[in-house]
Structure 1
Amino acid sequence: MITRRLTLSLLAGAAAAPFLAPAARANAGLGEEPEPLASAVAKGDLPPMAERVPKTPRVIDLASMNRKPGAYGGTARMIIGSQKDIRFMTINGYARLIGYTQKLEFQADILERYTVEEARIYTFTLREGHRWSDGHPLTSEDFRYTWEDVILNEDLRKGGVQRELLAEGNPPRFEVVDERTVRYSWDAPNPDFLPAIAAASPVTLLLPAHYMKQFHKKYVSEDDLKAKMKAARVKKWADLHIKMSRQYRPENPDLPTLDPWRNTTALPAEQYIFDRNPYFHRVDETGRQLPYIDRFVLNISSPGIIAAKAGAGEADLQASGIDFVDYAFLKDAETRYPVKVKLWKRTLGSRVALLPNLNCSDPVWQKLLRDVRMRRALSLAINRHEINMAAFYGLGKESADTILPDSPLFKPSYSAAWSAFDPAAANRLLDELGLTERDGEGMRLLPDGRVARIVVETPGEGTLDTDVLELITDHWAKVGIPLFIKTSQREVFRNRAMGGDIIMAMWLGLDNGVPTADMNPGELAPSADSQLQWPVWGMHHLSLGQFGHAPELPEAQRLVDLLKQWKLTTTTPERAAIWQQMLAIYTDQVFSIGIVNGTLQPLLHSARMHNVPEEGLYGFEPTCYLGIYMTDTFWFGDSVS
């Protein structure tokens, strides 16, 4: 089980001690140059390593991770399903101001240190001598530019300051303390701040000002800006700035980065090449600059054949685009190609989940689905064991849609809530609801005389959804509820949910099944319009009351109130108590119907690739896919791993 230490000293009124990166090594103790860079250094085209890495680089103690120092070199191939999936390099590379350890504790990464006072005053100190990938110094000016000229600019941020940067609706005060130190402070606590920085898609606090100013109307002439807009084929300067500044999906090869690898390929392309960042700030305990691997090559392929290509030896590191249904095929590839396949645990609260739309526009179904007895009955009528055996070979855990035992917040009662197979109890609850009339085939009738048929919609992006739904169709038919499966394109699917046209959806369960108390519990409450069980209520919260409307269901409103309380907390114990209340309500009320969690994700890698963990937690949040396992420490050797 992942354990969580109380790493933040956040007692009210007390200043926290600085959070330092792991012990730093002086530049004089650095190892040899990476081979691909040595010739450039010899020619004078690149400074020596001692001038490229910070004075106090982040030292990765591989021995403490049961890994070995590696060798430089090699090209790793990865297959992606579309151009937008170059974002996997940003996620898997996982360079953050502050990131998570493998125990999901916060640690300084790009920052040398940081302090937190009362969960509302955050002081960040950069590493001396840290540089962007183009060699330009990283300084507090980059933070200032991003805050004053980007975040606060109405043309660039029409929606205003990001929610993660608001405390009780107010943005922070930003201060430049000195060339290497900045401070963000609020009048009220903002516990969202650190998780937002450590996230897979982090809040943007830092852009390379020296590069981005050439696209900002404040710093260049109108004629110069117009010429750049014409070249980029955009009509507004704001669109130009946004296009050239994308970090999460690094489409601009000229944009300086702090990631371990930098994109060198302009759009559009069928292949993207990411070369090592010669100024990357991490070294191993022997003084070798990371990353070990020289280059990643990302080849675009049809999503439906990624598994086939990976199994044919066309990938050196692959987790995206493959699933457990491909495991037997991929494992067999080990006999034909120099690859290895490992199984990591997915962090989802449920691999697939049924989401009753409490905002559906059909008044009869809306009333029924808002009655907890209906949601509980549908859950009790599902034979999860049969689904687990048929779809997951019995390797998953039959469970409600909730957190995993790997989370320090886990309680068995959350997993067990209304998830036992009990068709007799389901029938009793349906009878209590008044659904006692049946048609000639034994199917229950709604109060208005219609057959109580539930149309479950899916985005149709794989066979797993329909395979599971076909089994549930049989289960629900036995309690008199017919099920009809409807597939649609993802965007259409989401729009129909927001419009109330969907009665019930099948989608993923909770995205973060391994939370700690210091992570935002917003998934458990109506907080976003992307939540398919209450999109209208979620929009109301997301828009600060401008759109949608507040929950009519008391239990849902209670979750919103608890989420607001969490945002005012200053200590981890306070947050843990709120998490427990929200988990108890969410699972008891069956706001989503989980099926199986703890399912396995194949990870294929070259047999010559070392330092790839045998086991891991795989998910977008909070582990950032491979991110917290530090792909910059993976390396190619002459022997198999």
Structure 2
Amino acid sequence: MQLRKHTRRDFLRLTGLSAAGVIVAACAPGTDVVPAAETLVPEAETLVATMVPEAEATAAPTAEAEATAEPEGEATAEPEAEPEMPSKYSESPMLAERVAAGELPPVEERLPEEPLVIEPYESIGTYGGTLSYGGPATTLYAYEGNHVMGWVNWLRISKDTGKGNPNIIKSYEISDDLTEITCYMRKGMKWSDGTPLTSEDVRFWYEDHLQNEEITPVAPKNFRPGGELMKMEFIDDYTVKFKFAQPHPAFVLVNLAHRDGFGDNATFVPSHYVKQFHIKYNEKANDLAKAAGFDFWYQLYGRENARNQSIDRPRLDSFMPVRDTPQMGFLERNPYFWAVDTEGNQLPYIDKMTSDKPADIAIMDAKVVGGTYDFSAHQMNIMNYATYAEAAATSNAHILLWQSGKGSEVVYNVNSNWPDEEWRTVFADDRFRQALSLGINRADINNVIYFGNASETQMTVIPVSRHYKPEYAEAYAAHDVDKANALLDEMGLEWNAAKTHRTWPQSKKDIIIPWDLVETETPKGPITELVTEYWKEIGIEIQWKSITRTLLTQKMGANEEPMSTWHGDETADTLFLRRPKYFAPGNGDENCWGTLWGLWYATGGEQGEEPPQMIKDLYNWLDEYNLTDALEPAAKVLESQAEHVWTIGAIGNAPHPLWIRNTLKNVSETGGFWTWDSLWSYTEFPEQWYLEQ
């Protein structure tokens, strides 16, 4: 059987929907889905010209260009210098009124002695306005809000994702042996309620949060390199030192620049607020918890320390929630925000935000094209580009395309720890994964889904990474059905009598693999529809359905998924190889490659299943890389991925659409990377966005 090349129109007919039809149907009453007229979805060739101006194409660099590019600096590279400190400060009229009324101290007293200085992208902004955005949420604000207010961390990831630049701290020092990191906080910096941020907030976190087993049953691995919990020294009110038993350079990018600021990785908390909920500081903390509907004090503590759940929790973000309803969250500027522009204007420029909470992504998309929001990005889908662009033209908006920053938009893993021995043996055979990879028609996916603007790549690091090599991206990435079939023949996976399926080697049953996926961030469903067709040509059938992430997490934890898919993030230097995931098996919910091996690694061999030596090698190289930040162990891991195809990539380095109202200014046209690795918009300083009045 020979598959013909798909066009975008073919694919829309295949799925029975058009991009516009999906969105329109989301707001329509009843259950019937009526596709929109086909004329709303131009052919791919037209969209390429519309999406990407010739001079600004978002396609990845050619292999030749990538091969000659200079490697990026190490994670411990010198941070970029801040702009010059302004000589005077200004503030929003909204806050000036409160100062005049005696409700707030002057702006000079609200800012730290040395605020962070942010250079506007295009121009000094104007104060005021209310920014609207939305997304499915059960918390105080939609996830999209994080992309506007930023992700507050000790450091801020650089645009190239290779460095940590000043943010909450004004500077840091790393000892020559890479075992100590000294951080210098901004003197006079304050929480949103005006209470000073000091080393006491870090001490409380270290002693009473991280080391309290009811709050933190197991300390995150980044805090215990080599198995020994880091030590901390609190030198003065504004100087803290992290001390490790062995070199730990990864801490700079992974914790200080990235995972800090939320969850158990937040190495600072508003201690003056959360102490009232902690049993060590309030013997009646359990009574408070029961009055709030909880059984134990640490449950209430957890809620009140979560910045997207507690409206009263002081915060360091540029905005703070002030009111919440099931349908809408309301946020206002943080009067004590600790950054200014180059002329001394306290940021952010925008005064207020509204966070709409639609029931699902389809309704959110309908509101986007209906012109409801000033900004949207996180769950926008490139397949709907034509509809977005058409709607933007009539809604005083435009669509930006940022690089996704993902090694692969969709990745596939087979479960080498699957309970059935016959399946496990097949999944563990390199030839099976290599054949699946060769069976994918990446050029077809690129044309049908991404209009030719993505890279037809294997799963690997992104091209700007200092670890990137073209041969990693090219490994088993060419569409070669004959070679794929030859590999499966070598394995003894014979065809059935009807020549419709290959069969399992012992049972001789047709190979049909049922599994589940979560459709989020990237077009996993549409791409997997195509992959389903490709793999039928080599005799492998997959039967998949979409489920919620909550259910997927449960099933992955119980080792009930023989196959999995996610998007290939953690491929920029920020997060590459900082934890087991796609290049060494982990035990999370984003892939099922070897969850029992991942559990063995995470628990130091106390749980899970001991892996074979080649998997232990991956863990050893991962550990070595995190200790040294050296190129050699990273190269060994990437060479292993290229050879064994542990994780199958489908397409990478694609454009991601952002909806921007034309009145929203200072948004980078080309952006950084729209990915978890860069914390999405945080490298682009959303604090300096403003609404043209």
Pairs aligned (count): 613
Tell whether 2:145 aligns with 1:89: yes
1:457-506 CA-to-partner distances (Å, cap 9, x unmatched) read 23353794343333333322322333333444333334334444332223
Deviates most, 375-384 or 442-451: 442-451
Q: Which residue number corresponds to residue 300 of structure 1?
A: 357
Give 1:2 deviation, angstroms. Answer: 9.4
> Residues 130 and 468 (structure 1 numbering): CA distance in 2 closer, same or farther, change over 3 Å?
closer
Match of 1:282 among 339, 347, 357: 339
**Alignment partner for residue 564 of structure 1, among 583, 600, 623?**
623
Instruction: Determine which of 382, 393, 411 is the counterpart of 2:440.
Output: 382
Which of these residues, 22, 28, 47, is aligned with residue 82 of structure 2? Answer: 22
Letter in 1 for 2:346: Q
1:358: Cα distance to partner?
1.0
Q: What secondary structure sits across from 1:568 in the alignment?
A: helix
Cα distance in 1 for partners of 2:493, 2:683 equals 50
Residue 289 of structure 2 is aligned to residue 229 of structure 1: yes
Structure 1 CA distance for aligned equivalents of residues 170 and 466 of structure 2:
28
Match of 1:344 in 2: 402
Residue 40 of structure 1 and its aligned partner are, at CA, apart by 0.4
Q: Within the alignment, does 1:211 sit opposite 2:273 as a pair?
A: yes
Give distance in 1, aligned partners of 2:436 and 2:302.
46
In structure 2, what is the Cα distance between the partners aligned to 1:519 and 1:125? Answer: 28
What is the CA deviation profile of residues 521-542 of structure 1, one whole-angstrom value per residue up to 9, with x for unaligned ones?
6331123333321111112212
Per-residue displacement from partner, 1:427-469 (whole Å, max 9, x unpaired)?
Answer: 2111111123532234222222433423242335379434333
Q: Which of residues 528, 548, 559 is equivalent to 1:469?
A: 528
Percent identity reads 28
The 1:129/1:213 distance shift into structure 2, 3 A limit, reads same
Kindly state the Cα deviation for residue 200 of structure 1 after the two structures are TM-superposed: 5.0
CA gap of 1:522–1:21, structure 2 versus 1, over 3 A, is farther
Alpha-carbon distance in 2 for matches of 1:158, 1:562: 27
C-alpha contact (below 8 Å) 1:399/1:595 kept by paired residues = yes
State TM-score, norm by structure 2: 0.84
- Code of the residue aligned with 1:219 in structure 2: it is Y
Q: Is the 8 A contact 1:349 1:513 kept in 2?
A: yes
Counterpart Cα distance in 2 of 1:438 and 1:519: 41
Which amino acid in structure 1 is aligned with residue 649 of structure 2? G
**Partners of 2:291 and 2:675 in 1: how far apart?**
35
Deviation at 1:515, TM superposition (A): 2.0
Aligned to 1:245: 305
| Aligned AA (1:210) | H
Match of 2:496 in 1: 438
Matches within 5 A, 1:2-21: 4-6=72-74, 8=76
Letter in structure 1 aligned against 2:570: N
Q: 2:122 is matched with which residue: 64, 67, 70?
A: 67
Q: Secondary structure at the match of 1:293?
A: coil
1:350 and 1:41 mapped to 2: Cα distance?
50
**Which letter maps to 2:290?**
K
Which whole-Å deviations, capped at 9, do the CAs of 1:327-375 have from their partners, x for residues lacking one?
A: 1111011221111111111122211122111111121111011110111
- Cα 1:270–1:2, aligned 2, differ >3 Å: closer, same or farther? farther
Q: What's the counterpart of residue 325 of structure 1?
A: 383
State the SS of the aligned residue for 2:408: coil
Report the equivalent of 1:513: 571
Cα distance in 1 between the residues matched to 2:108 and 2:605: 53
Q: Is the 8 A contact 1:439 1:451 kept in 2?
A: no
Match of 2:598 in 1: 538
**Matched residues in 2 for 1:433 and 1:88: separation?**
47
Tell me how far apart the structure 2 counterparts of residues 595 and 408 of structure 1 sit (CA, whole Å): 22
Per the TM alignment, residue 220 of structure 1 is displaced from its structure 2 partner at its CA by 2.3
Q: Hey, what's the Cα distance between the residues in 2 that align with 1:420 and 1:503?
A: 25
Within the candidate set 548, 553, 561, 1:502 is matched to 561
Letter of the 2:658 counterpart: L
Alignment of 1:107-506 (within 5 A): 107-117=165-175, 118-159=177-218, 161-194=219-252, 195-199=254-258, 202=261, 203-222=265-284, 225-247=285-307, 250-266=308-324, 269-302=326-359, 303-461=361-519, 464-506=523-565
**SS in structure 2 of the partner of residue 397 of structure 1:** coil
What amino acid does structure 2 have at the position aligned with 1:350? S
Query: CA, structure 1 residues 482+43, in 2 after alignment: closer, same or farther (shift >3 Å)?
Result: closer
State the partner residue of 1:605.
660
Quote the offset at 1:389 in angstroms.
1.5
AA of the residue aligned to 1:577 = E
How big is each residue's C-alpha offset from its partner over 1:145-200, in whole Å with a ceiling of 9 and x where there is no partner?
Answer: 111122112222222x2211112111122111111111111221123322122225
Q: Which amino acid aligns with 1:631?
A: P
How far residue 286 of structure 1 moved from its aligned partner, in angstroms, is 0.5
Q: Contact 1:454–1:482 (CA<8 Å) still a contact in 2? A: yes
Say yes or no: does 1:623 pair with 2:681: no
TM-score normalised over the length of structure 1: 0.90
1:578 alignment counterpart: 633
CA distance in 1, matches of 2:603, 2:455: 36
Q: Check 1:520–1:240 CA distance in 2 against 1; reply closer, same or farther (3 A cut).
A: same
Distance 1:278 1:61, change over 3 A: same
Would you say the 8 A contact 2:279–2:286 is kept in 1? Answer: no
* Residue identity opposite 1:72 in structure 2: Y
Change (3 A) 1:200 1:320: farther
